[in-house]
Amino acid sequence: MARRSVEAGVPQGSVLGPLLWNVAYDSTLKVNREKGCHIICYADDTLIIATAEDAPTAAVLAGIWVTRILSQIERLGLRVSEENTEAVLFHGRTRPVCLPFVSVGNCSIKLANSMKYLGVYIDSRWTFHDHFAYVEAKVSKVTLALCRLVPKLKGPMEGKRQLYS
């Protein structure tokens, strides 16, 4: 049995990791929420959804809830990556003239046209154009790599066939 030195938490890939995370993070999910606020979590990705009749109200509501959730997360001894914090304003056909900022303490999170959540790019109109462009670029890279690896018609050369097995 291999031994590893761990200063905090559990090793990556541990069977106990998800259970301990759920126990610790449960208090964050149980923060009292008002109407118009929803929290969705998957592993350590937290999504806060604030709904309102207009964009400025939604931005204020989002700022309040992000601040509350961040303080709860900090009580657990965890830190949120500001670089990975994103905000998107979902709207109908007409885009608001002035896009508000979501304020969190002294920091402002500018609203973007799309965000990446759990590997999927979600845009403000739910068209998924950004996601399809991202997937197309990835597929093109893989296709190009495979085309270089496998010569047309004849299949892979003997040396490369051995690489597969």
Is 34 contained in some domain?
yes
What tokens were used for 126?
């739910």
Sequence-ordered alpha helix ranges (H) in the chain:
17-29, 55-75, 129-149, 158-164
Task: Round to whole Å and give the CA distance between 147 and 150.
Answer: 5
pLDDT at 137: 93
Is 125 contained in some domain?
no
Is 39 contained in some domain?
yes
| Domain total in the chain | 1
Range of the domain at 32: 16-112
Is 149 contained in some domain?
no
> Is residue 157's pLDDT more than 80?
no
> Is residue 136's pLDDT more than 80?
yes
Is 118 contained in some domain?
no
Q: How far does the chain reach from its first CA to its final CA, in angstroms?
A: 30
Is 143 contained in some domain?
no
Structure pTM?
A: 0.68
**Structure confidence by residue, pLDDT tens digits, 4-24:** 665 666 667 777 777 877 787
pLDDT at 153: 58
* pLDDT over 90, % of the chain: 8
Q: Supply the mean pLDDT for the chain.
A: 78
Is 117 contained in some domain?
no
| CB neighbourhood size of 67 (10 A) | 14
pLDDT at 165: 47
